[in-house]
Structures are given as structure tokens and as C-alpha cells.
């Protein structure tokens, strides 16, 4: 499988080296460049076309907020993941509205950091687990207070659709027809849901989904 390309934007070389070291032994990731400020990233990203940009917020010349806004316009195929120490509601809310794909705190453990990159690579959103309370208070997310945001972020958009249909009692064939998928693909999504939610069977899956606020009842 082709490695997912990363581009790191941070004014601290220590952090750049740390991320490089973190992914060095992982064949699925490849760092193809880095910049020390937002302006440099805005110049280089459209040329290098990385899959994911890891972007700090506080930098000289051009901050990460402005760089994210520009990159999302000039390089829409590139996913933006913020890496920062900040977890203020106002900052997070603005970045979510801009359309960033992820928000990782710099003290995020390696396992969660890499899992977050995988989720973003697969086309979904990911936010550090320490941000759960902040995310619950961001009105633009429209997430109920009782929703387990960490679990919700682990599910792809399609998996959430399948979960809703499972809860409605739809058969595999009905789900396949409704989602325009093959029955085999639907079964694959069901299997993924059982694994991700640590459910023993369909009934247990639905109970967990209701308890964690992942589906409407």
C-alpha cells in the first residue's frame, strides 16, 4: 500500500524531529517535507501535494489559523490536522468551522496520535480525547451532551449510517439497497462496528450505541 504523505509545519525543530521519529518505523507514513512558518507552508503545500498537513497554531510570519484557512482554499485535497497545546473553545470552534480534519494536542500519546492520523486518512474527523469536554461545548458540532465523542470519532460516516440502520432493524439486503452497497460490504461495516464498540452481537451493539448516545432513539 502506498504510504500516506505528511507535511509538518511548526517553528520548533524538536517537534518536527519528534514526529519524524514517531512515524519512522511505520511504513504507512512518509514525511515529505516541513516548514517553520505558515507562509512557507502556503507556498510549498500546493506543489508537494501531501495527503495530510500537521499544522501548529503559534508560528512567526503567518500563524496556523490563517495558514489553515488559506491551505483549505488552495489545496482542498490536502487534509489539515492541527497540532497544538491550545484547547480553548473559541479556537477549536473556529477551526472546526473552517473545516480542519483533526485537532491533536502535542501531549497526545503516540498510539492515539497515530490512530488519529489513520482516521483522518480514511476521510473522517479526529480530535484528541482530552478535548471531549471542549467539543461537547462547541455548538457547531450539534453533538448531544450525552454522546461519547471519543467513540463517535472512531466511526466513519458510513459506519454511523449502518449503525442507525441496524438500530432500525434493517436487514443486510435492505441496508445494501438503501446505501447502494453490496451485502458483503455492509457485512464488513457491521463487523467493524462490533469490533470498534466491543460488542458481542447485534443486540449488544444496539445497547451500547444507545447508552453512549451514538444513535437517536
Quick one: 139 and 161 in the same domain? no
Residue-range definition of the domain harbouring residue 15: 4-143
With respect to residue 85, please indicate whether it lies within any of the assigned structural domains: yes
Quick one: 172 and 134 in the same domain? no
With respect to residue 149, please indicate whether it lies within any of the assigned structural domains: no
With 0-12 / 13-18 / 19 or more C-beta atoms within 10 angstroms meaning exposed / middle / buried, residue 13 is exposed
- Cell triple for residue 37? 512558518
- DSSP-derived 3-state class of residue 7: strand
With respect to residue 160, please indicate whether it lies within any of the assigned structural domains: yes
With respect to residue 68, please indicate whether it lies within any of the assigned structural domains: yes
**DSSP label at residue 130:** G
Instruction: Look at the chain and report how many structural domains it folds into.
Output: 2
Quick one: 192 and 109 in the same domain? no
pLDDT at res. 149? 65
Q: Where is the domain boundary, 108, 143, 178?
A: 143
Quick one: 170 and 136 in the same domain? no
Rounded to two decimals, what is the model's pTM? Answer: 0.62
Encode the chain (217 residues) as per-residue pLDDT tens digits: 689 999 999 989 888 999 988 888 788 899 999 999 999 999 999 999 999 999 998 888 899 899 999 999 999 999 999 998 877 777 887 888 888 998 888 888 888 888 889 889 988 888 877 765 565 555 444 444 445 667 777 888 888 889 989 888 888 999 999 999 999 999 999 999 999 999 988 888 888 888 887 876 5
Q: Where is the domain boundary, 143, 172, 203?
A: 143
- Domain of 106, CATH number, reads 3.40.50.2300
Terminal C-alpha separation, the chain = 40
With respect to residue 94, please indicate whether it lies within any of the assigned structural domains: yes
pLDDT at res. 147? 55
Quick one: 50 and 129 in the same domain? yes
Quick one: 105 and 173 in the same domain? no
- Cell triple for residue 172? 443486510
| 41-95 residue pLDDT tens | 999 999 999 999 999 988 888 998 999 999 999 999 999 999 988 777 778 878 8
With respect to residue 113, please indicate whether it lies within any of the assigned structural domains: yes
Quick one: 89 and 123 in the same domain? yes
Quick one: 136 and 49 in the same domain? yes
Quick one: 102 and 12 in the same domain? yes
Quick one: 118 and 160 in the same domain? no
pLDDT at res. 143? 45
Using an 8 Å Cβ cutoff, are 210 and 163 in contact? Answer: no
Quick one: 113 and 169 in the same domain? no
pLDDT at res. 144? 45
Using an 8 Å Cβ cutoff, are 162 and 175 in contact? Answer: yes
CA distance linking residue 56 with residue 106, whole number of Å:
9
pLDDT at res. 37? 93
Q: Where is the domain boundary, 95, 120, 143?
A: 143
Indicate the helix (H) or strand (E) that contains 52. Answer: strand 52-55
pLDDT at res. 76? 92
CA distance linking residue 142 with residue 41, whole number of Å:
32
Amino acid at each position: 500500500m502506498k504510504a500516506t504523505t505528511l507535511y509538518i509545519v511548526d517553528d520548533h525543530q524538536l517537534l518536527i524531529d519528534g514526529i519524524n521519529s514517531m512515524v519512522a518505523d511505520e511504513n504507512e507514513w512518509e514525511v515529505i517535507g516541513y516548514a517553520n512558518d505558515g507562509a512557507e507552508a502556503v507556498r510549498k503545500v500546493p506543489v508537494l501535494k501531501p495527503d495530510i498537513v500537521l499544522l501548529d497554531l503559534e508560528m512567526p510570519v503567518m500563524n496556523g489559523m490563517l495558514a489553515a484557512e488559506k491551505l483549505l482554499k488552495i489545496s482542498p485535497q490536502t487534509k489539515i490536522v492541527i497540532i497544538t497545546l491550545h484547547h480553548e473553545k473559541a479556537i477549536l470552534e473556529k477551526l472546526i468551522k473552517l473545516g480542519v480534519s483533526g485537532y491533536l494536542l502535542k501531549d497526545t500519546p503516540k498510539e492515539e496520535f497515530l490512530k488519529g492520523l489513520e482516521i483522518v486518512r480514511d476521510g473522517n474527523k479526529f480530535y484528541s480525547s482530552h478535548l471531549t469536554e471542549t467539543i461537547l461545548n462547541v455548538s457547531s458540532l450539534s453533538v448531544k451532551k450525552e454522546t461519547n465523542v471519543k467513540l463517535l470519532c472512531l466511526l466513519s460516516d458510513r459506519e454511523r449510517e449502518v449503525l442507525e440502520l441496524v438500530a432500525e432493524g434493517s436487514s443486510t439486503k435492505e441496508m445494501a439497497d438503501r446505501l447502494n452497497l453490496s451485502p458483503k460490504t455492509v457485512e464488513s461495516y457491521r463487523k467493524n462496528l462490533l469490533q470498534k464498540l466491543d460488542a458481542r452481537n447485534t443486540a449488544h451493539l444496539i445497547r451500547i450505541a444507545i447508552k453512549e448516545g451514538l444513535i437517536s432513539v
